[in-house]
Amino acid sequence: MAEIGLFEAIYSARSLRRFKPDPVPDEVITKVLDAAIRAPSGSNQQSWEFVIVKDATQRKKIGAVYQKGGAILKALYTDRVKPEHMTEDTYKKLMASAYYLIDHMADAPVLLLACLKQVPLSGPPPKLPPEVAAAMKSQARISGSSIYPAVQNIILACRGLGLGTVLTTIHTFFEDEVKQILGLPPEVMTYALMPIGYPQGKFGPIKRRPVSEVAYLDNYGKHWKG
């Protein structure tokens, strides 16, 4: 298909969860992955690893784990309050789409798992001041900064190639089961499960809260007017 511009991709790469059964050529998936590895990573470690699941039996196994995670998600969302910026109809469509994927993850022709390999320190741990050691506790929270930029590249590359996808994470409720299915070693952790295929739905436009509501100048509360 004809290539589209960067900003067109950004503004139209909706989260899509319903896919046609048509297979996705390996060379197309390779192009998506090549876009993924152009992303930045912490200290340029490039410690990402990707598992592409095409085998129907493997997809069913992953889909079954995702269903178990979905049951937890449904319980957590039972009394969830609708975000103020969404209409009741839009919210119901979002939840219906998410619940559909819970039962149909295995139907996507390709499942892509974005992973990070934990890189051990070389040599003995450095002696750090107590306050620095305490601050290091946040490292687990920011570890995703070395894989999620690659995930965003995957989303945009899929959009550019006419593929639908969505970032999901509820499989991580049962991380050990997923790792066993895929044969992942202990040091490799999954950060995203992305179904990929030619979509049944349409791309974009993406509706978001305006920049003026979420951006601030110099201090929190002073809204950006630009």
Q: Could you read off the pLDDT of 4-44 as tens digits, one per residue?
A: 999 999 999 999 999 999 999 999 999 999 999 999 999 99
Q: Where are the domains of the chain?
A: 6-119+141-214
67: left (phi over 0), alpha (psi -120 to 50) or beta: alpha
In degrees rounded to 5, what are phi and psi of residue 73?
Answer: -60, -45
Q: Which residue has the higher pLDDT, 204 or 103?
A: 103
Contact 157, 30 (CB under 8 A): no
d(CA 102, CA 128): 45
pLDDT above 80: residue 183: yes
Question: Residue 5 in contact with residue 161, Cβ under 8 Å?
Answer: no
Q: What pLDDT was estimated at residue 110?
A: 98
**How many Cα atoms are found within 13 Å in the side-chain-facing hemisphere of 145?**
9
**Residues composing the chain:** 226
φ and ψ of 98, to 5 deg: -65, -40
Torsion, Cα of 8, 11, 14, 19 (10° steps): -10
pLDDT of 132 reads 78
User: For residue 147, how many C-alpha atoms fall within 13 Å in the half-sphere facing its CB?
Assistant: 23
pLDDT reading at 138 higher than 80 = no
pLDDT band at 124 (very low <50, low <70, confident <90, very high): low
CATH architecture of structural domain 6-119+141-214: 3-Layer(aba) Sandwich (3.40)
Tell me which amino acid residue 170 is: I
pLDDT score for 142? 84
Q: Which two tokens stand for residue 54?
A: 């095409």
pLDDT above 70 covers what percent of the chain? 94
pLDDT in tens, 189-224: 999 999 999 999 999 899 999 999 999 999 999 999
What is the DSSP-derived secondary structure letter of residue 204?
-
What 3-state class would DSSP assign to 39? coil
